[in-house]
Amino acid sequence: MTRHQGRGMASINYPIGMNLGGDPSQALVHANPDGKFTVALSAIDLGQGMKQVSRQIAAETLGVPIEDVYVDTADSDTGPHDMGSFASRGTHRVGNAVIVAAKEARGVLLEAAAEELEVNADDLVTDGKGNIHVRGAASKSITVKAASQAAQFKQGKTISGRGIFLIPLSNVNPETGEMSPVTAYAHACLVVDLEVCDETGDVKVNKMTSAYELGRALNPRMVEQQLVGGAWMGMSHALYETPEPYYPNPEHGGRDYNEYLLPGPGDIAPHDIAVLERPAPDGPFGGKGPGEMCANPVLPAVANAIFNAIGVRIDTLPITPEKILRALKAQGGARPQVRRA
Amino acid sequence: MLEFRKDLFADERDDNLHVIGKGEQRQDMLGHVTGRTRFFDDHGFDGLLHLKVVRSPHHHARIRSIDVSAAERAPGVKRVIRAQDVPVNRNTLLSLIGFGKDDEPTLAVDKVRYKGEPIVAVIADSEPEAMAAAKLVRVSYDPLPTVFDVQEALKPGAVVVNETYPGNYFEYHDKYDHQKLRFGDVEAAFRTADHVIEERYQMSPIEHASTETNGTIAAPETNDRYVVHSCAQGLFFSLGTTAKILALESNRLHFIGGTVGGGFGGKVDSLTEPLAVLGAILTGRPVRYVLGREEEMQFGSPRGAERHVIKDGVMRDGRIVARQITSYFDAGAYTRLTSYGVVKCVAHMPGPYTIPNVRGDAYCVFTNRVPATAMRGFGVTGVDFSIEVQMDKLAHLVGIDPMEFRILNAYRDGDMKAHRRVAHNTALIECVQVAAQKSNWALSETARRASSLSGGGGPRAAIPPTVTDESGRIGRPETRQAPPQLTPGAAAPLPAYQAPPAVPVHQPPHQPVPPLPNYPSQPAGAAPLPPVPTPPVPAPPAPPQHGAARFSSVFTRRR
């Protein structure tokens, strides 16, 4: 029995948002009389962090502290229309709608402050800590709270904003496939180090090393959660999962987590990640979306590393021990390829 | 471990931001980690009823008869729902955006097309009573021949799975049995290539395996409306689907959701919402319909299987000169979203590389299995696996390091993509360089110096003279097998393409705020306020047309 070391890589890009566009998102932003803001959406938080990323985008755009913003989603009576959380569209589409809505609300906030300070609203800036002051004259200031109270009870202004973001729908040419699929792409390259046992066919992923380009990491900790978890899902897709192990034979599907194979805590691999940020010209603060794409490079990188370890190509997913052993038998044993670092 | 490479593309970013770029804790984190966050199934109602469906044990069968009399008399049973009780018992999910023909019943009529297809729903006081009563429903079947392989299903004379699409393929543009991509002339390039290799890749179906299974609780409100606690990934998408199937105006449904226990694409199909609401309508009581784990794993729609056959022409120096991809997406018995995934796959060909000749043919194929749906990387994950393993094989074939091979062929700013749009904002090369550096993978000086910002465009921005063909006309499978023909005039260059602005028309987020709608400053205590500017209300959809957008001529066949 020998455990053969192997190293493989893959590089990918990923389209952000619904293919062909035509997928609008709306947002409504409003303040209570104390200058505390609510962002109303109908976007879905599946655990990916939709609420938090919307909250940070709103706080940044409004120019107020993050604790002064909460996101309310999703209630079809109060949240405006949104296509949904899929196609890596949440951050890009909803984020842009939130920016538009928050800019409008900020505009009213500054108008209210300008009236109280008796200055021109164009000369006002926010400090991100709950204050509004004249550019270059920090002493000439008013709190967001005082400006909001004045707007509500004295000036009769509603500090609110509405936003929508829509990439117009693209045609597809039937003859050539010419189309405008999306406006932003994320990128990645990932290296897998693994070992393959030539007696059992077992594959142990030892390490993943990667570079992901995401436009801008709006919240680095949530990005890390996405990338680490998503890459494990990619590993699982490569080596473990399917409800039809002998596809296209439809039988032998798992009925629960005992029968449907997934990696356990002892199977997951450490992941060393570099994040690159090339802002998308139409992304919210340049953000793209790490949601789906983080899993994609892992599948081929695992397959390529297995080839590097034992010299067999498994072109059918998942790459189970059975497939490896059959391929090794057909080849007459392992043929390790050139070692890479 | 996470590190930032702020040195790269630094001149394209403003890093002086207050909140963006900070690892702030989520507003919902405390609820999640203390188990107090409320998901759809955490909403209790007095008098809650439970719904379970009777599913087909056959992959393909004619339904001879259905007898629900014993089930109706079973303990605790309040109502049995049959196909004729569903107001609009035929739908396709993407009808909301005008794409495709209605092809799927909520409850099967006459025929079942996959194992697990719902036939009858039983509503009872408790879940065990609903399950026990469901077992008493007597359905007699005439089993039919089945087809499970996509390429078998496409053969003339194959078993017809879904009569809406009698050739077992989704119909594109009212013209073809697949979606085409044509860029340049792959056949001519294969003839000049130093090596030509063709390889076949297969991705099996995958279960989403979310912690929370699909489910809905629907309850009558006091105002002739229904509140719906939903796990949907698209709240209004599910609301629109439910409204269409139940023939209700959309404002009679009040959907609440937004906090979902995992989705990955498995909660886009509205698997439970329509029947739960119909149950609430028919019984006047709250109804809960939640899939058990076994139901979810066996009959909840999975990521569909994909088969990709890739033929490449490569030169000894490593340049790929032609790539041809034939893709088969296994939709299962009904369209759901696979037709859309196919077009997304075609948009993604030939991967993040600049290849001067590309041909793609992608099919959405019907087979007798559980309908497939979207999953993380929909339309892309399978073809990325295939392309990237193929890239490894090509690099091996020409004896070039796989990282160097990627950089050599990588797309760069200014390059023309196969779908005839200019690439911009690219960063593949930098990702490869950084991954190589982090993993101590040695790169040549040339590879280390390469950049996405230079070396693209120029001749690489050209749209080559392109060979088109009329292969794969709807209803004429013989044209699919026929060798590619030059249609009259097709060999001539296409009319020069007018590139649109890189980004479609919308308000760029970084531009200064446009003039706000009237907010006249007015003295405090002034007399009547001016009318508040009314936000433009989106035009109300005409009753038969659900949803906001309409896919354009691509998807002309509508219902």
| Token pair listed for B111 | 């025929």
Contact B107/B308 with Cβ under 8 angstroms? Answer: no
pLDDT tens digits for A236-256?
999 999 999 999 999 999 999
pTM to 2 decimal places: 0.92
Supply φ then ψ for residue A285, to 5 degrees: 55, 25
B546 pLDDT exceeds 50? no
Interchain contact, A84 vs B420, CB within 8 Å: no
CB atoms closer than 10 angstroms to residue B155: 14
Element at B531 (helix H, strand E): none
Instruction: Name which of B416, B412, B10 is nearest B184 in CA terms.
Output: B416
pLDDT band for position A201 (50/70/90)?
very high
For residues B95 and B80, give the distance between their C-alpha atoms in angstroms, rounded to a whole number: 28
pLDDT band for position B124 (50/70/90)?
very high
Contact B200/B149 with Cβ under 8 angstroms? Answer: no
- Chain B touched by A76 (CB under 8 Å): yes
Contact B21/A220 with Cβ under 8 angstroms? Answer: yes
For residues A161 and A311, give the distance between their C-alpha atoms in angstroms, rounded to a whole number: 60
For residues A286 and B495, give the distance between their C-alpha atoms in angstroms, rounded to a whole number: 34
Of the candidates B260, B343, B535, which has its C-beta nearest A162's C-beta?
Answer: B535
| Token pair listed for B504 | 């479609």
ipTM metric? 0.98
**What residues in A contact B468, CB-CB < 8 Å?**
175-176
Of the candidates B21, B206, B343, which has its C-beta nearest A242's C-beta?
Answer: B206
Interchain contact, A108 vs B519, CB within 8 Å: yes
pLDDT tens digits for A273-326?
999 999 999 999 999 988 899 999 999 999 999 999 999 999 999 999 999 999
Q: Which residue of A has its CA nearest to B254?
A: A76
Interchain contact, B549 vs A63, CB within 8 Å: no
H-state helical runs in B247-353: 273-283, 293-299, 338-348
Supply φ then ψ for residue A195, to 5 degrees: -135, 145
Q: Which residue of B has its CA nearest to A154?
A: B524
For residues B468 and A81, give the distance between their C-alpha atoms in angstroms, rounded to a whole number: 40
For residues B459 and B416, give the distance between their C-alpha atoms in angstroms, rounded to a whole number: 9
Supply φ then ψ for residue B7, to 5 degrees: -70, -25
What's the confidence (pLDDT) of residue A1?
A: 83
CB atoms closer than 10 angstroms to residue A32: 14
Interface-testing mutation among A37, A39, A42, A46, with chain B (most B C-beta atoms within 10 A): A46
pLDDT tens digits for B106-116?
999 999 999 99
CA angle A47, B383, B302 (to 5 degrees): 50
Q: How far is B69 from chain A (nearest CA, A)?
A: 30
Q: Which residue of B has its CA nearest to A315?
A: B201
Question: Which positions 279-308 of A are in contact with B (Cβ < 8 Å)?
Answer: 279-286, 291-293, 295-297, 299-301, 303-304, 307
Of the candidates B236, B502, B526, which has its C-beta nearest A81's C-beta?
Answer: B236
**What residues in A contact B256, CB-CB < 8 Å?**
74-76
**What residues in A contact B201, CB-CB < 8 Å?**
315-316
Residue reference for tokens 């809505």: A101
Residue reference for tokens 């039809």: A244
For residues A205 and A271, give the distance between their C-alpha atoms in angstroms, rounded to a whole number: 10
Contact B286/B229 with Cβ under 8 angstroms? Answer: no
Interface-testing mutation among B147, B225, B249, B385, with chain A (most A C-beta atoms within 10 A): B385
Q: How far is B12 from chain A (nearest CA, A)?
A: 7
Percent of chain B with pLDDT over 70: 86
pLDDT band for position B98 (50/70/90)?
confident
Note if the bond before A248 is cis, omega within 30 degrees.
Answer: yes
Q: What is the CATH number of domain B179-205+303-497+508-538?
A: 3.30.365.10
Of the candidates A83, A107, A174, which has its C-beta nearest B513's C-beta?
Answer: A107
Name the DSSP class of A290: -
Interchain contact, A23 vs B367, CB within 8 Å: no
Higher pLDDT: B498 or B184? It is: B184
Q: List the strands of the sheet with B2-4, edge to edge.
A: A3-15, A185-197, A203-213, A271-276, B2-4
Pairing, β B287-290 against β B49-55 = parallel
User: What would the mean pLDDT of B302-328 be, rounded to a whole number?
Assistant: 98
Interchain contact, B346 vs A70, CB within 8 Å: no
Which class for B281: exposed (0-12), middle (13-18), buried (19 or more C-beta within 10 A)?
middle
Q: List the strands of the sheet with B77-81, edge to edge.
A: B77-81, B118-124, B49-55, B287-290, B215-220, B226-230, B253-256
Contact A174/B180 with Cβ under 8 angstroms? Answer: yes
User: What would the mean pLDDT of B214-220 be, rounded to a whole number?
Assistant: 98
What's the confidence (pLDDT) of residue B510?
A: 39
Element at A151 (helix H, strand E): none
Domain boundaries, chain B: 49-144+209-299, 179-205+303-497+508-538
Q: Which residue of B has its CA nearest to A161?
A: B535
Interface-testing mutation among B178, B439, B468, with chain A (most A C-beta atoms within 10 A): B439
Q: Which residue of B has its CA nearest to A109?
A: B519
For residues B448, B449, B450 and B454, what is the CA-based torsion angle, rounded to 10 degrees?
160
What's the confidence (pLDDT) of residue B1?
A: 86
Indicate the SS3 state at residue A258.
coil
Supply φ then ψ for residue B254, to 5 degrees: -115, 100
Q: Residue A155: which residues within 8 A CB-CB, separation 6 or more? A: A112, A115, B521, B522, B524
Tell me, which fold does domain B49-144+209-299 have in CATH?
Answer: Aldehyde Oxidoreductase; domain 3 (3.90.1170)
Interface-testing mutation among B389, B403, B404, B430, with chain A (most A C-beta atoms within 10 A): B389
pLDDT tens digits for B388-405?
999 999 999 999 999 999
Interchain contact, B13 vs A286, CB within 8 Å: yes
Contact B113/B164 with Cβ under 8 angstroms? Answer: no
Q: Residue B227: which residues within 8 A CB-CB, separation 6 or more? A: B218, B219, B221, B254, B256
Contact B499/B462 with Cβ under 8 angstroms? Answer: no
- Chain B touched by A68 (CB under 8 Å): no
Element at A29 (helix H, strand E): strand A25-31
Identify residue B10 by its one-letter amino acid code. A
Q: Residue A307: which residues within 8 A CB-CB, separation 6 or more? A: A6, A8, A313, A337, B392
pLDDT tens digits for B16-57?
999 999 999 999 999 999 999 999 999 999 999 999 999 999
Interchain contact, A316 vs B201, CB within 8 Å: yes
Name the DSSP class of A91: I
- Chain B touched by A35 (CB under 8 Å): no
- pLDDT mean across residues, chain B: 89
Contact A228/A271 with Cβ under 8 angstroms? Answer: yes
Interface-testing mutation among B1, B26, B338, with chain A (most A C-beta atoms within 10 A): B26
Interchain contact, A271 vs B1, CB within 8 Å: yes
Number of cross-chain residue pairs from A and B with Cβ atoms under 8 Å apart: 498
